[in-house]
Structure 1
Amino acid sequence: MPKITDNESIRPLLTFSQLLQTGYTFLEKIPFIYTINPKLKEHRNQVMQMIKDSHILTLPDKFNELFSKDGWICYSGLSQTVLEQSVALGSTNKYEEAKELLIEYVDEKMVEFILTKCSSRPEFKTRLDLLKLLKIDYLEQRYHSCIPLLLALIDGLVNDISKHVGFFTEKSDLELYDSITSHETGLPFLKLIMNTSRKKTTEEEILIPYRNGILHGRDLNFSNKEVASKCWWLLDCVIDWSDEKRIDKQPIESISIKESLEKYNKTQELSKRISLWKKRPIKSEKYWQSQNLITIEQGLPEHTLLIFLNAWKEQQWGKMFPILLHNIGKHKGKAIPEIKSDYQKIKLLNFRIDSSEDQTPSCTNISSYLEYVKDDIKQSSNISISLNYANTENGYPELRDEPNGSWYILQLSLRQILFS
């Protein structure tokens, strides 16, 4: 059976790591080489650490081997800590402890994070009110009510996103190229398990969300935390699937070991530049209130924010389109009506920057004061607006000032005004 480690994005890294390990194992047997070339010794610790870190690449396969038969699969959004701990427990005959870890991972914080992700994705956002109610049911242990509706919503979500069929339909195609979540051993396998035929009515407790048995009234004893947590787990996987489906990654030509080494060297150079990065000094509120589009240097996040807010005030939706992070790769004709729907209901009157603080090499939070009319009521808010410096083609974070990046507004940081 194909493995996740065979993925295009993982296989070259593992191969390179294995070559390095073989090479340094050989050098350890002839230590006088270090005398001839002392630089090899200097780089040894760095290389050995990289080899040690590469073990994380093999964990998704191990996770699926251990837990997929019981209704859990590894996905891109899974916490690395939980991934490592669960595999460690499951591999050392502590399977029940591993199961408990995975069940408890789906706590209030995780569910809230799922809802946050749903709020910025169109098909998910339309179901957000119901999902918020299901969160309450889950936390208050009303598993009998949240499980069936979660299964139904997931089916409808996949139907809307695929524009073809629902999640549990036999013809649904959930496998995607170079994916962890949608690998053959991941989401497609999970669908097969959850879609198992349940032809007899049973009162025996089940621990897997059998869709047919639950929604057709055959599995009567399904109301428990393990089944409910697996439904939220599945929803998080579907979010990953929908994001990857939009990217529609296709195979590329394989790269040589030399190219892998060059790629690694570029990564190391970027790491050095990141380590040298420092936050800008925090300026006073008086300073920011005296700034405008003319006085603020182009290329700074504050300049981008003022362009965005001015376009909002003037209802120039086309100018807002290229500044919103979630619009990267989206067709302008489709995105502008969505922007208009989100922002037209709020008439922005005035705005100003009160303070700005760099958070990471690719993120700045800008405290802003906004005056606006919403629902015919004049209001004002102090809000922290997040801007990310991201790759202009794929939206991945970049080190600020890198040539292939730009500043983008994270719409999620405006949710208290837009969606409350």
Structure 2
Amino acid sequence: MADSPQVSPYGSARDLPSVQEMEQQLAAFKLLGILLPKEQRNKVKELEHEHRRITGLVDKFYGILGKRNWVFTGDLNLPAMEHVVDTDDAGTAETRLIGYYKEDSRIAFPLRRLHRFNAMRPRISLLQKALTDYEAGRYYSTVLVVLSVMDGFVNDLDTAARQGLHARPAEDMVAWDSVAGHHLGLSHAHQSFLKGFYKTDVTEVTELYRNGIMHGTLVNFDNEVVATKAWNRLFAVADWADSRERQAKPVEPTPTLREALRRWKDTQDQKTRIEEWQPYEYEPAPAAEPSEVAQTARDFLESWEKRRWGPVGAHFMELGSARSSVGKLAVLAKDLYGALELSEWTILRVRHVAAAVAHTDVELLVSGTKYRTDLRWVRVDHTGSTATEWESGHWALSQYGPSLFLKPETAVIEPDNDR
């Protein structure tokens, strides 16, 4: 990946190019006013309100927590962040933000999404161990691992001119068209990352002072603040990497007002269709043509039973547009399922729980133990993005690790008829 043109930090979330484009489109829609049906006029107002709510939230976050070197990242939950910054006290907001990161999946979910980077994939297992340590309160370990991963990841992003995160000046870390590019965002926090420390100091620190921590001069960093900032910084660096990739793409022509209106209408139609969608379920009939989800589940289970690892791995869900090779997925499938012998299986029911999510309730006989469990499928398009069931795409097994569905509580205890 070649170096992208350097950009200046954004004074406000409203200064982001995509946000300014949105504001121009909203202004154009408002000029059309009377030409739009009342329902669409109301939706334009809702969109404008939501737009202002989000940009205001980002700016408020930085106004309270930016000086403490927290970065607003794309994975943060907006309603939760509203609670975090519903105070004028930076200490209270920081405590709430740390509490947010300690909730279930707040780190695990964006951590899984890091698979989208080829340069990050060899480091995921280290990060998973760091998360285990973080949850167990071994903060010193978390900090050291996450710092090393960030350095290596940034170094591998551009193999033509390798340069780790620790070697990049703050002006290189402005994330283009990203909330992490705020003037109190990643580039601001990076200044503390680079600050030099040249003699041993036993004072407790609450900043992610990479230089002092990695060189052993700051020894009292074993606390939840520094460890949580390490995760926050990792996801901010991921946003920065995404922004470099977007910035390097050819500039698309600005859509005409007609095109903008059509795209907006398509988005509204999609939103309406999703809102009107209702969950449904059914039992696959033996004589009937199986549904797409049932057929996909059948292909996966047949491949597992016959130990055909390539087709098994082909069902695994991968996030992002990068695709693993057939051979790599086959190796992964064999590593996960090779010791598990599937000898019998039945698809009991298909449950569509969301427009892009379905579960197949199954009964499996695995290595002599019977399980009654479910397989979770998500519909994705060719880019790896979520797609609704009426859009082009395919169903992928989202939780493909067997330990996620072959749990002790799903095992079926057969009655002992000899007694």
Counterpart of 1:27 in structure 2 is none
Counterpart Cα distance in 2 of 1:70 and 1:81: 21
Counterpart of 1:31 in structure 2 is none
Q: Indicate the SS of the match to 1:109.
A: coil
Structure 1 unmatched runs, 5+ = 25-33
Structure 1 residue corresponding to 2:294, chosen from 282, 290, 302: 302
What's the Cα RMSD here? Answer: 3.8
In structure 2, the CA distance between the partners of 1:126 and 1:45, relative to structure 1 (3 Å rule), is closer
Cα pair 2:147 2:230 within 8 Å, conserved: yes
Task: Return the TM-score normalized by structure 1.
Answer: 0.76
Q: Which range is displaced more, 229-238 or 165-174?
A: 165-174
- How far residue 388 of structure 1 moved from its aligned partner, in angstroms, is 1.1
Q: Indicate the SS of the match to 1:389.
A: strand
Counterpart of 2:21 in structure 1 is 12
Counterpart Cα distance in 2 of 1:84 and 1:19: 29
Counterpart Cα distance in 2 of 1:183 and 1:318: 44
- How far residue 101 of structure 1 moved from its aligned partner, in angstroms, is 1.9
Structure 1 residue corresponding to 2:42, chosen from 40, 45, 69: 45
Structure 2 residue corresponding to 1:406, chosen from 380, 391, 394: 394
In structure 2, the CA distance between the partners of 1:359 and 1:74, relative to structure 1 (3 Å rule), is same
Counterpart Cα distance in 2 of 1:2 and 1:257: 29
Counterpart Cα distance in 2 of 1:344 and 1:182: 45
Task: Return the TM-score normalized by structure 2.
Answer: 0.76
Deviations 1:195-238 (A, max 9, x none): 32122433443221211212323224333332222123234445
Matched, 1:316 2:308: yes
Deviations 1:242-288 (A, max 9, x none): 778889972431323332221110011112222332222x34xxx44
Q: Indicate the SS of the match to 2:318.
A: helix
Q: Indicate the SS of the match to 2:168.
A: coil
- How far residue 307 of structure 1 moved from its aligned partner, in angstroms, is 1.2
Deviations 1:311-366 (A, max 9, x none): 22223344345433217641535444434443334333222222322211110122
Counterpart of 1:276 in structure 2 is 276
Q: Which range is displaced more, 207-216 or 127-136?
A: 127-136
Cα pair 1:71 1:194 within 8 Å, conserved: no
In structure 2, the CA distance between the partners of 1:332 and 1:129, relative to structure 1 (3 Å rule), is closer
Counterpart of 1:55 in structure 2 is 52
Counterpart Cα distance in 2 of 1:321 and 1:208: 42
Matched, 1:367 2:355: no
Matched, 1:394 2:388: no
Q: Indicate the SS of the match to 2:341.
A: strand
Structure 2 unmatched runs, 5+ = 1-7, 409-419
**After the TM superposition, which residues 95-134 of structure 1 pair with which residues of structure 2 at under 5 Å, given as runs?**
95-110=90-105, 113-114=108-109, 117=112, 122-127=121-126, 130-134=129-133
Matched, 1:84 2:82: yes
Structure 2 residue corresponding to 1:350, chosen from 323, 329, 344: 344
Counterpart of 2:375 in structure 1 is 385
In structure 2, the CA distance between the partners of 1:209 and 1:112, relative to structure 1 (3 Å rule), is closer
Indicate the structure whose relative CO is greater, using CA pairs within 8 Å and at least 6 residues apart: 2
Q: Percent identity, please.
A: 23
